[in-house]
Amino acid sequence: MRKLSLLLIFNSLLITAQTPDEQKLKDIYDQSLTNSQSYSWLDHLSNKIGARLSGSANAQKAIEYTKAELDKLGLDRVYLQEVMVPHWVRGEKESAYIEINKKKIPVPICALGMSVATPEKGILAEVVEVQSIKELEILGVEKIKGRIVFFNRPMNNALVEPMEAYRDAGDQRGKGPREASKYGAVGVIVRSLTLRLDDFPHTGGTWYGDIPAAQHIPAAAISTNGAALLSKSLKTNPNLKFFFKQSCKKLDDVLSYNVIGEITGSEHPEQIMVVGGHLDSWDLGDGAQDDGAGVVQSMEVLRIFKLLGYKPKHTIRAVLFINEENGVRGGDAYAAVAQSSNENHIFAMESDSGGFTPRGFTIEGDEADVARIQRWKPLFEPYMLHLFAKGHSGTDVEPIKSSKIIKVGLKPDTQRYFDHHHAATDTFDAVNKRELELGAAAMTSLMYLVDQYGID
Amino acid sequence: MRKLSLLLIFNSLLITAQTPDEQKLKDIYDQSLTNSQSYSWLDHLSNKIGARLSGSANAQKAIEYTKAELDKLGLDRVYLQEVMVPHWVRGEKESAYIEINKKKIPVPICALGMSVATPEKGILAEVVEVQSIKELEILGVEKIKGRIVFFNRPMNNALVEPMEAYRDAGDQRGKGPREASKYGAVGVIVRSLTLRLDDFPHTGGTWYGDIPAAQHIPAAAISTNGAALLSKSLKTNPNLKFFFKQSCKKLDDVLSYNVIGEITGSEHPEQIMVVGGHLDSWDLGDGAQDDGAGVVQSMEVLRIFKLLGYKPKHTIRAVLFINEENGVRGGDAYAAVAQSSNENHIFAMESDSGGFTPRGFTIEGDEADVARIQRWKPLFEPYMLHLFAKGHSGTDVEPIKSSKIIKVGLKPDTQRYFDHHHAATDTFDAVNKRELELGAAAMTSLMYLVDQYGID
């Protein structure tokens, strides 16, 4: 592409602000794209601190770092909110192989978050492959007992929206081990939740629910290439054995914190608007996309308001939640304090789908709530945001209860998200500076509009 | 992001095809996302062949490879179209440094495409920094003669659309050297056309126009970090010297080819619809984004039609143009043959903005033409395409003349494009498989609709 001279211009992209709101959005975008701090904050969180699993020393460093950075912004209040969080540790690097006629073929795995360890010597057992939890029932105890259950339903590449494909395949990881245990399985291997074929296992939480501790069986994710190999091998060698070994464990809960920064409202200080992401991350990458991006974008909202000298009518809080990945204790604690203090939340926004080019917002509420947010859609057209649809907001803001509240999620382009999500590939270099900044600008713009006009 | 259970669903994204057109687009997208060949073609073009500068051995390999691959698709006609192309070679790796008080600070540069070499010993001269070609006139011969002109106007990060920022800054590269030469400059250094601050120089064509050969002065791009350093150094040391050395040269023109694959129309074989990208690339990366992506997407359009057993009414041609980057000889030759053969082209589409998530199409034509394409916008909504605006189509299809023709360009998300464009960072790993495939699906879908309904 070399064309310079005759490029016709998108009329819609020549942004000429006319109304005060158009001007304010332009100011917000200008600052976000030319004078941002989000990317350098993310660089520090990712490269100087790194993975931030709840209860870890790194999580504590991230809490201290983001609080110190918020302290520099001249906000009205910056504080930590105590939260007891689970403390799961991965232990030694896991190992796994397929054993066919004494030949051992190594495959990449990682323990699922919150899983128990295997016995110290590992587990060696025959494998039964299934595509769904429902299939367990059909196979029954007879075919499952003493075996490793291998959940191998791929994320569906035909779905245009990767989040849908994640939702469709995710039950295998979240409750597959719990369900397989009921039929006497000795372990569970889950195909990694990604749309790519590669060699990176993707972790993520699994939940034993209320089954007795003695029935908690070890569970690991296998890379998609590994899953393909295992599945192919089973077709010709149904009695092959699979070996895996992991030493992860759950330690005692640890005192941790949500980090909160606040600009007090000038007209309605008692009405609170939240913007947030989560500080914790899985431990395999550095958590830049999930959810360092949402953290620094939320901080940037406050920073841009201060930069522009904007004095919000409502109280604006950036909340950097702890423990989204394996407990949501931060989200629950925030909501509990809000409830016990009789706080009145009117709006909550979360960014937890990666720092990619923003496409719009998902709006959680009734049709009237969706319409309230959609009325601002034309203001976002020059910035190429176009999706304003009903949808999930965010896991951390979900617990917040108020008599009248609208919750939204930033909706970025997620085509690349599951290349990185919960894997060693979730690293800073996978985040594009402008895409991250455009997300922060979109979030700040919507916070501004809700602050100006409320949600009624 | 761990949320699985309560994800509400985008209503708009649940694709339930009802009309035949909706069903056809769904079929096209299904094939594109689950059964594509574009990514593996691109892997070969990028990693097995590599950079494909016009006239190079690699360009010839790419011609042979893509023709052979088109031959496998069972098309009605696959052929090469002769084109004489310029043959510019970079020569040895360039070198450059800033000299301040005998201290030499190396900086990364690369010759601009079509530039002449420096003398064998290089050029060492004082530097005059300008922000625009207009500024040359103000400075005049007195301040420019014998010096190196340093064009340092950055691409404007405040613009939401990077293509606009490229257009705004690009004259410095395209005609800066020619204009500076008129004032007696001995060389030109241009700030790389990228929105990032990094160490990669970005090449691209420069054009001496009709000034005498003796006045062709050597021109190079400097990395943005290098440009920042040079500019800063000039503020404290206005008499510093800059050295650069390059041995690039223009050899004799070479016989090369456009590669053309065709499905003959069943109802209007004489009415031709073109879809294309360009086979040549700059020589620093492997040309995956610019424009390997457009090449394989264009091939995929024909492949998907064949896969679906779709028999187009009009003749559909994929044209893989040679020499977009430094001459547009392929585009000109194609148009010349079309004209001399009295061919009737009704539609032409180009993909030459990278293989990123598609956002829509830019439409070149009058208002009525734009409206003709826009009427299909609702069909693309489930696939998250939303931009259907007047704009440039593509450099290669621009020369095509016909009594009645609409030209469009695929419009992807270009936030990352200039991280890679014309630089060593334009490599296969910067292309995401799904984003590439979504582009091919969008292109195939629009080709289908135009084929079904024509452009009247």
Q: What is the pLDDT of residue A394?
A: 98
pLDDT tens for A86-143 read 999 999 999 999 999 999 999 999 999 999 999 999 999 999 999 999 999 999 999 9
Residue A390 to residue B11, Cβ atoms within 8 A: yes
Percentage above 90 pLDDT, chain B: 96
Q: What are phi and psi of B138, to 5 degrees?
A: -65, -45
DSSP structure class, residue A113? B
| pLDDT for res B456 | 85
Nearest to B392 among A3, A391, A394 (CB): A3
* Percent over 70 (pLDDT), chain A: 96
Q: Tell me the pTM.
A: 0.96
Query: Which residue in B has a C-alpha nearest to residue A352's C-alpha?
Result: B1
> Which structure tokens are listed for B223?
């990395």
Taking each helix axis from N to C end, the angle separating B171-181 and B134-144, rounded to the nearest 10 degrees, works out to 40
Query: In sequence order, which residues have a C-beta less than 8 Å from that of residue A157 and are 6 or more positions away?
Result: A165, A195, B33, B34, B434
How many C-beta neighbours within 10 Å does residue A11 have? 9
Residue B256 pairs in a beta bridge with B83
Helix (H) / strand (E) element for A261: namely strand A249-263
Q: Identify the band that residue B6 occupies on the pLDDT scale cut at 50, 70 and 90.
A: very low
| B96-125: average pLDDT | 98
Per the residue annotation, which of A324, A325, A350, A437 is the catalytic one? A324
Domains of chain B by start residue, with CATH = 11-88+252-453 (3.40.630.10), 91-247 (3.50.30.30)
Neighbours of A77 (CB within 10 A): 12
Please list every residue in chain A whose beta carbon sits closer than 8 Å to the beta carbon of residue B359: 384
**Mean pLDDT of the region B279-306:** 98
Q: B9 vs A162: CB contact, 8 Å cut-off?
A: no
Quote the pLDDT of residue A10.
45
Q: Tell me how far apart the alpha carbons of residues B26 and B15 are, in angstroms, rounded to a whole number.
A: 8
Categorize the per-residue pLDDT at A3 as very low, low, confident or very high, splitting at 50, 70 and 90: low
Q: What is the ipTM of this complex?
A: 0.95
Taking residues B201-224, report their average pLDDT: 97
> Of the residues B262, B324, B325, B350, which is catalytic?
B324
Please write the tens of the pLDDT for every residue from A192-216: 999 999 999 999 999 999 999 999 9
Closest partner residue to A413 among B158, B357, B395, by Cβ?
Answer: B357
How much is the pLDDT for B1? 67
Contacts of B352 in chain A (CB under 8 A): 1
Residue in B10, B362, B364 nearest the CB of A389: B10
What does the pLDDT look like over B142-193, one tens digit per residue? 999 999 999 999 999 999 999 999 999 999 999 999 999 999 999 999 999 9
Q: What chain B residue is nearest to A385 in terms of C-alpha separation?
A: B386
Sign of the CA dihedral running A109, A112, A117, A118: negative
Q: Which residue of B has its CA nearest to A354?
A: B1
- Residue B290, min C-alpha distance to chain A (Å): 6
CB < 8 Å to B3, chain A: 392, 394-395
Among residues B432, B249, B440, the alpha carbon closest in space to that of B356 is found at B432
- How sure is the predictor about A12, in pLDDT bands with cuts at 50, 70 and 90? very low
CB contacts, 8 Å: A8 with chain B = 362, 364, 390-392
> Structure tokens of A204?
């993520």
**Residue that the structure tokens 């900086």 belong to:** B107
Average pLDDT on A396-405 reads 96
Are A434 and B162 an interchain contact pair (Cβ–Cβ within 8 Å)?
Answer: yes
Q: Which residue in A has a C-alpha nearest to residue B164's C-alpha?
A: A9
Kindly provide the b/e burial profile for residues B369-392, where b requires at least 16 CB atoms within 10 angstroms of the residue's own CB: bbebbeebeebbebbbbbbbbbbb
pLDDT at res. A1 = 67
Give CA–CA dist A276/A318, Å, rounded: 5
In the residue annotation, A324 being an active-site residue is answered as yes
